Amino acid sequence: MGTGGAVTVAYNGLAARAGLEALKQGGSAVDAAMTTALTQIALTAGAPVSYFGIQSLVYYEAKTEKIYTMNAEWNTVANERDPLSIPGGLDLSSEAGRRGSGAPSGRTALVGGFMKGVEAAHRRFGRLPFASLFDPAIFIAEDGMPVSRELADQFRFRHDDLARLPDTRATFLKPDGSAYQAGEIFKQPALAETLRRVASVGSDYMYGGPWGRKLVRAVRANGGKMTLEDLQRYEAIWADPISASLAGGYSVFTNPWPNSGGTALIEAQNLAVVSGLADGPHWTSDGDALRKVLDICNMGYVSELPAAVVAAAFPGLDMSPDARITMKHAEALWARIKSGTQLVPFAKNTVRHSDDVVAIDKDGNIAAITLSINSVIWGKTCIVIDGITIGDPGSFQQQAIAATGPGKRLPAITETGILMKGGHPVIGFASMGAGLHLRTFQCLQNVTAFGMNVEQAINTADLFAPGLDLKTMQQTVHVPQGRFNPLVLDATGYSWKELPMSEARPGGEGKWVAISRNPDTGLLHAASHNRSNSDAVAF
């Protein structure tokens, strides 16, 4: 808690400290958020997040009392005309499946906007010199950092893929080809030099400059179709937010389409209203309420399924992005769900996998961002350009790429936003992980409908993303071990499974981080995820 500023992250407490230093040096919330995000990527060696990944931003500007959104997410490749034939696939049920299937391919690379987003956000709302945002990340990359147990496990998990290409092998493995072990010092000198150049000349160094030319050559050498024009034409998209009224006098503001996560967030909150979820007991103590939560959040799959599949499940119902954020749509959709229609069915009960940053400065400006590489630990292709990792987000989004079309902005499921009450911004939040939709829904309901503060909302027992059986195409409810009453789970009528802590991340957990601000006193309450190397800091 504090009054001068606060930062919270889902991973990497040192990154949060870097962002707090930016605030202490007079930086804005955007300066703090972008400093934190840049530091996070260096600390994770670009495995779950990347400087060529994606980010979405929701920003409240105190002096104008206006909310802005920025979309710096994936563009599809203009020359990719047969996306359904892009190699790859994922099966999150096993370690082998999470490594990815199919041959490594440059066709799995998409055009990420993370660094464009950093520059665009700073140009609009930054106070500190642009280059200063990079200082902590450059320090970490150049001086090195001790390898954590988690990073050592990731080096082991992806060892054979990291060894495939000479530049990647030189970046992430020892000279003898072995993996770094926990406690050893890992340095990223090529990355430090690249970040210095971006800090000096801006994002054009990557988007069409020397780095971009190297990227295009590497992607095409691996069978990809990316061109320099794909990079040169990329721009971050600024737009007004979409919003919905919630219980308790709250309203939520989030990213509009093509951020599909914002649409799903609004749809789910509207369904909570029409279903009467807030009028009964909390779902951790009541099976009927828990079933409502599961049925509502099941609709989070809409944007990831082919339109024909969705139309077959809900014939005659308008499932366009504009329709899905209306209360009229929620009423019609809930009537279908109550009658037993499910987008992805749950198996009946028998006897019985990015990062987030939220920052608030002393003036009350709020920056909430989500960033990702959108791949499982570097991705299978493992291309690295001067220290920057290139993921394989196309390896499992073939249907979405085909539906989006060549050279266009791909919908992204990130959910980031700001809660307002009485005309004042009171909470900035962001979410990540395979279960981010469920986690966001639960935490927002905990705050708005059940009166919890951000810390209580996070620490309340949470549902993970359901497990999906690819043979039967039925789901099983996943929950953390020992957090739910089995009788409540049984009362849903759905098959369920408890997951130990060791299986939480690959098992579909979501992470939600938030900072609240009391509009009367200015008191900040930052809260972070409770199952990871995270941190919430304030002064």
Report the alpha-carbon distance of residue 328 to residue 351 in Å, rounded. Answer: 38
In angstroms, the CA 321 to CA 331 distance is 16
Answer whether 194's CB lies under 8 Å from 386's CB.
yes
Residues of the chain with pLDDT under 70: 91-95, 97, 349-353
Contacts of 36 (CB under 8 A, 6+ apart): 7, 9, 15, 16, 18, 19, 22, 357, 359
Q: Which positions ≥6 away from 170 have C-beta within 8 Å?
A: none
Q: State pLDDT tens for residues 487-513.
A: 999 999 999 999 998 887 777 889 999
Angstrom distance (rounded) from CA 43 to CA 149 = 13
Helix (H/G/I), strand (E/B), else coil: 428:
strand
Closest CA to 278 of 512, 448, 456, 461: 448
As a whole number of angstroms, the distance between CA 416 and CA 396 comes to 23
Q: How many CB atoms lie within 10 A of CB 436?
A: 29
Q: At what angle do helices 29-43 and 135-143 cross, to 10 degrees?
A: 20
pLDDT of amino acid 351: 41
Report whether 281 contacts 273 (CB < 8 A). Answer: no
Phi and psi at residue 32, to the nearest 5°: -65, -45
482: exposed, middle or buried (Cβ count in 10 Å: 0-12, 13-18, 19+): exposed
Measured in whole angstroms, the distance separating CA 251 from the mean position of its chain's CA atoms is 22
Nearest-angstrom CA–CA distance, 370 and 423: 25
* Strand duo 145-146 + 185-186: pairing: antiparallel
Which tens digits make up the pLDDT trace of 293-322?
A: 999 999 988 888 888 889 999 999 999 999
- The reported pLDDT for the residue numbered 95 is 67
Q: Where are the beta strands (DSSP E) in 215-256?
A: 237-239, 242-245, 250-254
pLDDT of residue 347: 85
Structure tokens at 402: 């085909």
Calculate helix-pair angle for 260-275, 327-338, nearest 10 degrees. Answer: 70
Query: Residue 407 in contact with residue 110, Cβ under 8 Å?
Result: no
Angular region, 302: left φ>0, alpha ψ -120 to 50, beta rest? alpha
pLDDT tens track for 95-124: 676 777 788 999 999 999 999 999 999 999
**Which residue, 355, 256, 406, 454, is CA-closest to 46?**
355
